Each structure stands twice: as structure tokens, then as C-alpha cells.
Amino acid sequence: MSDWESKRRRLNHDVLKNQFLQSLSRIIRILEGRIEDNGVPKDMCQQLSTAWNYLNTEAQKLLDSAEDEMSPATWFLQYPLNQLNMVDRAWMETLLVSEFKLSSDLTLSETRLALSDIDLSYRKLLLSLALLENNKPKTKTHPEVIDTEALNYALELYNKCQQLSNQLSKLSSQDVMNVLSKIGHVTSI
């Protein structure tokens, strides 16, 4: 497994699912009234904010290097394809990389879009939580007075994160058969 692939897995599993989505799930449970609390604690918002900033930065870095790291050009470094002479290797790389680019550009664009969608939903949630904090009652929150706007934004953010996770999984296309099945026209048998 390459370092890039390890980073992709870590980002999707450890950072997105285990950190960011866990923080968000707790906020959702509070907003749904399933956890009794006097509003969403500030440190929880701070935790979500820290997790998002880290996730966003690392995801951008990962996407910036994705094309090089996922490229079929890397296949020719390994045995036995490194036995190819320079001329054959050059045209094969050109052919596969150009086909690969056509299919990967779309996946990468969709992943970037999923990331910017999260950014938007995250900002809306943060704003509504801030408003909630300013208007919060002195007594403990009860389910019947839950702010539905904040809850809707939180649920929207949760769904967007699931979409990003699916997109990040699609980038796990270093498997040769997986890539070859997407590029060109594989005849159905």
C-alpha cells in the first residue's frame, strides 16, 4: 500500500468517520433532545471546528496529489512491467494515463465538490448554533423547544459527510483491475 493510499484511508476512516462524524453525531443527539444538555456546549463546537479544519486541509492536500499518486504511470515502476523498453513504456503510459485522466477528473471534481458542500453546510450549522447559544434559555433544553433549523443543518452536514466518505472510497482505485474496468471500453463477456 502506498503512503498516499494510507493517507486516504486514514483520512476517510480515522479523521472523517471517527473524529468529525463522531463529534457531529453528539451534536445531533443533543439537538434531537436525546442527550439532555443546556444547548450544545462550546467545547463541542470547538472540537467540531478543529476536526473540520484538519479534515479540510488534509483532504485538499490529498486531492492535490491524487492525480500523480493514482496514475497508471506508477504501475510501470514495478516488476515485471519495469522490464519494458523506454519506447514501449512511453506509449503505454501515454495511452493509459490519458484514458485514466478522463475517468479520474470526474471523480476528483466530484470529491472537491463534496468537500466544498461540507464547508457550506458546516458554516450554516455553526451560524445556527451561535444563534442558538445567544438565545438559549437559562433552563435545560427540552425536546419540544429544540431548534429545528440547527438540527436540519446538522443532519444535512452528516449526509454531506457520508457523500464525501463515498467519494474518498472511490479514490481507492489503485487496484489495477478496478482502474482498468473504468478506463477505455472493457468488452462485456
CA 57 to chain centre: 11
Using the Cα atoms of residue 111, residue 113, residue 116 and residue 121 in order, give the sign of their dihedral: negative
Do 164 and 118 meet the contact criterion of CB atoms below 8 Å apart?
yes
Residue of 38, 53, 95, 143 that binds other proteins (CB under 8 A):
95
Should residue 175 be labelled a site residue for other proteins when binding is judged by CB under 8 A? Answer: yes
State in angstroms the smallest separation of the CB of 143 from other proteins: 44
What percentage of the chain's residues is helix, strand, coil (to nearest 5)?
80, 0, 20
Q: Does 15 bind other proteins (CB under 8 A)?
A: no
Among 35, 53, 81, 143, binds other proteins (CB under 8 A): 81
Which value, to the nearest 10 degrees, does the dihedral of the CA atoms of residues 43, 47, 52, 55 take? 170
Q: Which of residues 40-69 bind other proteins (CB under 8 A)?
A: 61, 64-65, 68
List residues near other proteins by CB under 8 A: 1-3, 61, 64-65, 68, 72, 74-75, 77-84, 87-88, 91-92, 94-96, 99, 175-178, 180-181, 183-189
